[in-house]
Amino acid sequence: MSSIEKIRNIGISAHIDSGKTTLSERVLFYTGKIHKIEEVKGKSGVGATMDFMDLEREKGITIQSAATSCEWEDCAVNLIDTPGHVDFTIEVERALRVLDGAVLVLCGVAGVQSQSYTVDRQMRRYQVPRIAFINKLDRAGANPERVTGQLREKLHLHTIPVQIPIGAEDHFEGVVDLIRMKAVYFDGNKGEDVRLAEIPDELVAEAKAARQKMIESIADIDDAIAEKYLHEQECTPEDLIPAIRRVTVAFKGTPVLMGSAYKNKGVQLLLDAVRDYLPMPSEVENIALDQDHGEAEIKLESDTSKPFVGLAFKLEDGRYGQLTYMRVYQGKVSKGDFIVNCSAGQKKVKVPRLVRMHADEMEDIASAEAGDIVALFGVECASGDTFTDGRVNFTMTSMHVPDAVISLAVEPQDKAAQTNFSKALNRFTREDPTFRVSRDEESGQTIISGMGELHLDIYIERMKREYNCVVIPGRPQVKYRETITQRGEFSYTHKKQTGGSGQYGRVAGYIEPLPSDHEGGYEFVDDIVGGSIPREFIPACDKGFKEAIKRGPLIGFPIVGVRCLINDGQSHPVDSSELAFRTAALMGFREAYNKAKPTILEPIMLVEVQFPEEFQGAVIGQLNQRRGNILSTEKHEAFVTGVAEVPLADMFGYATDLRSATQGKGEFSMEFKRYAEVPKQAREAMILDYKEKREKDGAGRGSKRAAG
């Protein structure tokens, strides 16, 4: 076990196809964790170490984040390789939630792509310091200077380029280290021999200018270097390395490195940068909420003598039962200890087995300390639960879980597979918070919801392979929302007289749209003065409104973006109850909803398409046909990158259309951007469809009752 100063918890994140998994494979090779390099889509069919699922190896993409640990010189590195595809974005969220630093990988040709924005947003959300690594410099059209410019302009990062390339494209030979002013080459079959040499004569002037620029960039955000720079003093590596570390850890600057993981160039220098610039666990501020003292914020310390605090951030059904990945933030945990789940009502569990993960292999360990990322067996919990040793009652905030944007009705092909079908759904919902299962009460169908077509396809395929359950999917259903566009008032009296005591409750107030930048889709405001509604019935009104927004009357989807305010009401000394006020609020909301000009919202996706220039007319035409709003087109070499906003409802089947329009040379990625109003004509057709379906279902139920 390394001391805490020597631990680095890092993630590798990027847009799909930037070379993250290839880079992870090289990191494992150079740190001695593996002795043979396998390629992501290698001819051996073995696949990269970190892509250990059969599906990942077949498709050549990362689906689950994989954790491993390795050692670089005297430094212990816990590494998580995350997926690049937006459909598996929760894997990136949960990894970044528990990591102290990250490597943002960019393709030297494509540069900043749509998913790079998402990863950047996620890193900012969790305040994760990062290093940028410009990969694939051996490819035709690679231009690290252009990519560095995009990091500044598009992601607004304060970049500190610490290297320049030697040669370009198929003549890419190595890099110039601007800190030490040396040329670095990577010799041997696998680039394992790092050789320092003098900078080639033709690059000396360029390297001096680039070093000057690097020092200026650091001086802008670091006082010690600024002082040296202003006094025109020489900056040595002993000055520069701690300064770059200071600004990186403080989230002020991003060192930029470069290389080609596939050609085994630049990876060892990246590992040096992880050690030199990314934070150790004790340098990152981690906050817990003390449940015994009104959720007061407590700063956790990476100290083994303090009470144990750990966060379960990922669950997996392994060969030996549930595997729980845990980040230890404070104290220490050992095999055989009793730990308490503070997120699940102080449930006490024993730690039967503690392991350190290497992709899908594991190594048993006796104990884990603050700063470690380990896995536990036989501990039942949910993703995001906080564990302690029982001396404190702390919880930590979980990861951000995005809303689902697409649904499918599913059923097992064979009724005998129903048990396996249920088991699979239970397991997948426990493991993946973005995969949701619900039941449509009207049709009795099982509905699965997720982040995109690929996301749901993968789970359907996994049910078939892992549970021997063939699933019949229905047509994809977009997750629409309903909302209001103006204020609507209500004054509703709920009055019911039966034998004995009756029910009575009156509520009055209004509903209005929430501002578009408001976090969350619902807000309750209690504006009651003078006790016209007794205090004990106020929460019942909130419950009634929450009930009302679950299903809108236009097309049966949830209502969002609404503020419900109550400012008057009336109660009865005998007949008023929680139920009466809940019902009054529910009916009052429905009364106001029709006056508030309700409308329907649909998910709009940010779509990035890359295709050869000769197909530009056909591709842009296709996007326009799909109600796309073209935001930009950028030509680089013979390829065009187009960015557009397109409604998700119009994106089904796009992959096939794009392939046929570009002779299989076009590719696209998309991610959820925002909700926007459905055009009037489409809205009216949707409302009519929903009304007809309701009437048909109602008639069907009526005839069944009559027959019964």
The DSSP-derived string for 114-168 is: HHHHHHHHHHHHTT--EEEEEE-TTSTT--HHHHHHHHHHTT---EEE-EEEES-
Q: Are 56 and 62 in contact (CB under 8 A)?
A: yes
33: its two tokens: 């964790």
365: its two tokens: 């360990």
Using the 8-state DSSP alphabet, how is residue 559 labeled? B
pLDDT of residue 253: 94
C-alpha to C-alpha distances, 254 to 99, 245, 593, 680, nearest whole angstrom: 17, 10, 49, 46
pLDDT digits (tens, 9 = 90+) for 409-438: 888 888 888 889 998 898 888 778 888 898
pLDDT confidence band for 42 (50 / 70 / 90):
very low
Cα 30 from Cα 15, distance rounded (Å)? 24
Specify the amino acid at residue 580: A
As beta bridge partners, residue 494 has 505
- pLDDT at residue 43 is higher than 50: no
pLDDT confidence band for 55 (50 / 70 / 90):
low
Tokens 């007061």 sit on residue: 296
- pLDDT at residue 708 is higher than 60: no
pLDDT digits (tens, 9 = 90+) for 435-482: 889 887 666 788 888 877 778 888 888 888 888 889 888 877 888 999
656: its two tokens: 């096939």
Pairing of strands 254-258, 159-161: parallel
Phi, psi of 343 (to 5 degrees): -85, -10
- pLDDT at residue 131 is higher than 50: yes
- pLDDT at residue 673 is higher than 60: yes
Cα 209 from Cα 201, distance rounded (Å)? 14
Cα 528 from Cα 534, distance rounded (Å)? 9
Show Cβ contacts of residue 91 under 8 Å, excluding neighbours closer than 6 positions. Answer: 63, 64, 65, 82, 83
pLDDT confidence band for 269 (50 / 70 / 90):
very high
Specify the amino acid at residue 382: A
pLDDT confidence band for 359 (50 / 70 / 90):
low
Q: Other CB atoms closer than 10 Å to residue 254's CB: what's the count?
A: 24
pLDDT of residue 355: 86
Element (H, E) at 390: none
Phi, psi of 393 (to 5 degrees): -120, 75
Is the pTM here over 0.85, yes or no? no
Kindly write down the DSSP assignment for every residue of 612-670, as one continuous string. EGGGHHHHHHHHHHTT-EEEEEEEETTEEEEEEEEEGGG-TTHHHHHHHHTTT--EEEE
- pLDDT at residue 354 is higher than 50: yes
C-alpha to C-alpha distances, 682 to 205, 371, 600, 669, nearest whole angstrom: 62, 53, 10, 26
pLDDT digits (tens, 9 = 90+) for 485-518: 999 999 999 988 766 667 899 999 999 999 877 6
Cα 186 from Cα 30, distance rounded (Å)? 12
Cα dihedral sign for 254, 260, 265, 267? positive
What HEC string does 306-370 produce? CCCEEEEEEEEEECCEEEEEEEEEECEEECCCEEEEHHHCCEEEECCEEEEEECCEEEECCEEEC
pLDDT, the chain, mean: 84
Tokens 């959300």 sit on residue: 125
Which phi-psi region, left, alpha or beta, contains residue 522 (left: φ > 0; alpha: ψ -120 to 50)? beta
pLDDT of residue 678: 93
- pLDDT at residue 122 is higher than 90: no
Using the 8-state DSSP alphabet, how is residue 219 labeled? H
pLDDT of residue 48: 47
Show Cβ contacts of residue 485 under 8 Å, excluding neighbours closer than 6 positions. Answer: 513, 596, 597, 598, 599
pLDDT digits (tens, 9 = 90+) for 584-630: 999 999 999 999 999 999 999 888 888 888 889 999 999 999 999 99
pLDDT confidence band for 684 (50 / 70 / 90):
very high
643: its two tokens: 């960015």
Decide which of 159 and 27 is more confident.
159
Pairing of strands 163-166, 159-161: unpaired
Query: What is the dihedral angle through the alpha carbons of 482, 485, 491, 493, rounded to the nearest 10 degrees?
Result: -10
Specify the amino acid at residue 446: T
Cα 384 from Cα 398, distance rounded (Å)? 5
